[in-house]
Amino acid sequence: MVGPPTQLPLQDGVQGLTIQLLRSIEVDSLPAPAIDSTSQGTIRITWKHGHRMLFLSVMAPDRFLCGRTDGGVTLAVRAIRWNRVEGMRRLVS
């Protein structure tokens, strides 16, 4: 017997914001990210380079969470709702 699916479809607008955020990055020094859809219908993007990690969780068409770990120090996760593209550029610089 097979149970119900455990993965929700992507929430409306999540894919569009993900593409917009990835296109907004003008930093060539970032490695290729890992991009995963989550069971909650969101998208998680993770960059890893040495001891640094940057992640984004795109939650809705107007909101994403971001966090960063640098040399073992984890910076607070924060939600970005306004000026999303500019917030993304500041995060990766």
- CA 65 → CA 12, 50, 76, 77, 83, distances in Å? 17, 22, 10, 7, 13
Closest C-alpha among 79, 88, 87, 36 to residue 60: 79
- pLDDT tens string 34-53: 999 988 889 999 988 888 88
Closest C-alpha among 68, 87, 88, 85 to residue 77: 68
User: For the chain, how long is the longest CA-to-CA vector?
Assistant: 50
- pLDDT tens string 13-36: 888 888 888 877 766 667 788 999
pTM for the predicted model, two decimal places: 0.70
**79 vs 82: CA distance, rounded Å:** 9
